[in-house]
Amino acid sequence: MCCAGGLNRSTVYTRRKRTANIKPPQRSRKKSIQPRALSPREKAVVIETLHSEPYCDQPPAEVYQCLLEKNKYLCSVSTMHRILRGLHENGERRNQRPAQHHAIPRLLARAPNDVWTWDITKLPLFRRGIYLSLYVVLDLFSHFVVAWMISRKENSALSK
Q: Tell me how many degrees the CA angle 27-31-35 measures, rounded to the nearest 5.
A: 105
Residue 76 pLDDT level (bands cut at 50, 70, 90):
very high
Closest CA to 45 of 13, 80, 93: 80
Q: What percent of the chain has pLDDT over 70?
A: 89
* pTM of the predicted protein model: 0.45
pLDDT in tens, 2-36: 667 777 888 778 877 777 665 666 777 777 778 88
